[in-house]
A = this chain, B = another copy of it.
Amino acid sequence: MSQRQSKSEAAGNRESERRRTILRAAIDVFARKGYHGCRIADVAREAGVAYGLVYHYFKNKDELLETVVETGWSGFVSRMRAVAEDEGNSLEQKVRGIADVAFEAYRVDPRAVKVLILEVARSPAGTQVVSRQQAYLDTIRMAADMFARAQATGELRADLDPMLCASLLFGAIELGLTAFVSGLMEDRSPEALERAKLQIAESFLRGVIPGAATSAEAAWKQEKVSSGTRPKAGKRS
């Protein structure tokens, strides 16, 4: 921090350093105490900045949350869309890809993901600002379209409702991540994350793909063997 950074010149791209400090602090505080459970003063303190400055960069508390969420969510969605709408991918690849995107986001910035899960996916709806709610629902709809297309090509069982498939996939990913966020999974190592990601994708795919054994299945068995003794499961006989 604190290289003077050409005040008068350029700086157009360089979004104020301070602003970003505040944004970062907001993520951390929101993750720790939740949006409603914290005051602006907390964010300011965390950022090491005067109370009033927060209002210099953000219209109000809600815009602060909105900004945090918008940036995080749009990144996630665009990555996910790229995977879901690339028709070079099989359904299986798409599902795996989506799980990848979600878990990678968590690996990179767990606290930001926590905020997204808490304040977007699980926002108390109702009177709540519609935009967040809407963004989430739109994402599910996008996935539902993906599944509908997969049904047309026979990659997905015809007897399933695409919308419900989408809900299920997101439910699985969301609660999977929540298990980490909430501390239900004690082992939070990258390997544990990787294992969880695989289990989620595998289970989901086995559940919705036509026919009995999938290539996923084979790949999984392969993986299991090649990685030597599995670290966790299977200690009860």
Residues on A close to B: CB < 8 A?
31-37, 118-119, 121-128, 133, 137, 140-141, 148, 151-152, 158-165, 167-168, 170-176, 178-179, 181-182, 184-185, 195-196, 199-200, 202-208, 212-213, 220, 224, 230, 232-234, 236-237
Contact = CB atoms under 8 A, between A and B. Distances in A.
Contacts of A126: 31-34, 37
5 pairs of A and B residues whose beta carbons are closest in the complex: A171-B175, A212-B212, A122-B122, A34-B124, A207-B207
Nearest to A145: B236
B125 A119 contact: no
A216 to B, nearest CB: 10
Nearest to A34: B124
A208 B203 contact: yes
B152 A236 contact: yes
Given A204-B207, A206-B208, 12 more contacts: A122-B122, A125-B182, A151-B233, A151-B234, A158-B234, A163-B179, A171-B172, A171-B175, A202-B207, A203-B204, A203-B207, A206-B206
B184 A36 contact: no
A111 B35 CA distance: 24
Contacts of A141: 184
Contacts of A199: 159-161, 164
A37 B124 contact: yes
Contacts of A137: 182, 184
A115 to B, nearest CB: 10
Contacts of A175: 167-168, 170-171, 174
Nearest to A198: B159
